[in-house]
């Protein structure tokens, strides 16, 4: 059985992995992302790095079924192009598939980074064995991937904009221009925003409030860490949980997936996060559907991207058979 190559292209580093056909990571490495010069060096350095490493591990292109990649920006999967990936410097259309296939001679597949991470969690992570999985990644912003019957949902243009589900029509203004998007209150930045706002009206003892009042920076991690002893931190987490629970409940009312997987930096808060969100999640789910959709933490962490990218390759085989 041939091997798979998975690539997770990000604004600071490019992660690579060679995986077995069954998704076991056999080799992995990373390089820095060189975003200078409108990101013109990114694809050439990826090509070079693959060639070097295959040679080092004595793998020929004949041993490889294909290369998969998760990328920021707006992706055209069929054409294998990327546009508007600003954290890579890619403002104009990048013909990634064309460049990589002609240089390495192996079939290439690409999708949006959050989508690819969703596939990783479906294949080897919290959604293993499921067919319908929603992946929500809580980082600086919020990304998402929607998988139905094992397939990514792309919709008319770009499905899975879960960070822009409106959870409070009178809420904070989002970077997208709308008001009350989930991202404004449930991303790492959103949690800090909630903490600062709720601190203003909080009257009790709180070390979190002291730090905020001093004008020092706080992080979403600090909020979760202090929840045990700090009343304000608990209020912030409760508010965050309400919003994420409301959005997740409504996802069930529309799609009733097997699992909603919560990943991204904020999910490092662990089971405490799930417990808090679950209370609201169950409340806002249509009663007959409660207990049919599970809410789970992501399992693969940083490796979801390369594993899901490899699944893009692996899955292409069964898709071809169906055509």
* Closer to its own copies by Cβ: residue 163 or 264: 163
In the β-sheet with 94-95, what is the strand arrangement from edge to edge?
74-76, 81-83, 94-95
Please identify which residue in 92, 93, 286, 302 interacts with its own copies, judged by CB under 8 A. 286
Rounded to whole angstroms, the Cα distance separating 19 from 26 reads 5
Measured from the CB atom, the residue of 181 and 306 that comes closer to its own copies is: 181
Q: Shortest CA distance to 40 belongs to which of 96, 80, 78, 1? A: 96
Interaction pattern, residues 77-116, with its own copies; x per rule: CB under 8 A: ----------------------------------------
Instruction: Give the Cα separation of 24 and 17 in Å (integer).
Output: 10
CB nearer to its own copies: give 29 or 284: 284
Pick the closest to residue 147 from 291, 16, 311, 270 (CA basis).
311
Determine which residue in the list 37, 58, 62, 169 makes contact with its own copies, applying CB under 8 A. Answer: 169
Among 138, 162, 191, 300, binds its own copies (CB under 8 A): 162
Which residue from 49, 53, 256, 316 is in contact with its own copies, where contact means CB under 8 A? 256
Shortest Å, Cβ 158 to its own copies: 6
- The stretches of the chain forming alpha helices (DSSP H) are 36-39, 42-56, 96-104, 113-124, 183-186, 188-201, 207-213, 220-225, 231-255, 271-283, 304-322
83 versus 210: smaller Cβ distance to its own copies: 83
Q: Which of 149, 204, 214, 228 binds its own copies (CB under 8 A)?
A: 149
Residue span binding its own copies (CB under 8 A) among the ranges 22-30, 104-112, 158-166, 206-214 = 158-166
Pairwise CA distance, residues 4 & 86, whole Å = 28
From first CA to last CA, the distance across the chain in angstroms is: 22
Residues in the site for its own copies, rule: CB under 8 A?
132, 144, 146, 148-149, 151, 153-162, 164-166, 169, 176-178, 181, 246, 249-251, 253-258, 283-284, 286-289, 292-293, 322
């Amino acid at each position: 059985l041939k091997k798979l190559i998975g690539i997770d292209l990000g604004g600071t580093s490019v992660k690579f992995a060679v995986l077995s056909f069954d998704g076991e990571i056999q080799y992995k490495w990373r390089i820095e992302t060189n975003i200078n010069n409108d990101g013109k060096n990114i694809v050439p350095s990826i090509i070079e790095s693959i060639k070097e490493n295959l040679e080092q591990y004595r793998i020929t292109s004949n041993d490889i079924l294909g290369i998969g990649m998760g990328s920021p920006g707006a992706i055209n999967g069929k054409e294998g192009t990327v546009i508007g990936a600003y954290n890579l410097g890619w403002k104009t259309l990048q013909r990634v598939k064309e460049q990589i296939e002609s240089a390495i001679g192996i079939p290439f597949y690409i999708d949006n980074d959050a989508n690819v991470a969703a596939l990783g969690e479906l294949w080897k992570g919290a959604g293993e064995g499921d067919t319908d999985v929603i992946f929500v990644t809580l980082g600086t912003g919020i990304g998402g991937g929607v998988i139905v019957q094992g397939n990514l949902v792309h919709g008319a243009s770009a499905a899975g904009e879960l960070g822009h589900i409106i959870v409070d029509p009178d809420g904070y203004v989002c970077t997208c221009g709308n008001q009350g998007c989930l991202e404004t209150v449930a991303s790492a930045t959103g949690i800090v925003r909630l903490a600062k706002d709720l601190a203003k009206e909080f009257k009790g003892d709180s070390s979190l409030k002291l730090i905020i009042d001093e004008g020092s920076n706080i992080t979403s991690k600090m909020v979760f860490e202090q929840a045990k002893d700090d009343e304000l931190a608990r209020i912030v987490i409760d508010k965050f949980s309400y919003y994420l629970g409301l959005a997740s409940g409504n996802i069930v009312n529309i799609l009733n997936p097997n699992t909603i997987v919560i990943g991204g930096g904020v999910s490092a808060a662990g089971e405490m996060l799930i417990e808090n969100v679950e209370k609201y999640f169950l409340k806002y789910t249509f009663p007959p559907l409660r207990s049919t959709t599970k809410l789970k933490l992501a399992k693969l962490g940083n490796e979801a991207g390369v594993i899901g990218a490899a699944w893009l390759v692996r899955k292409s085989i069964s898709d071809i058979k169906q055509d």
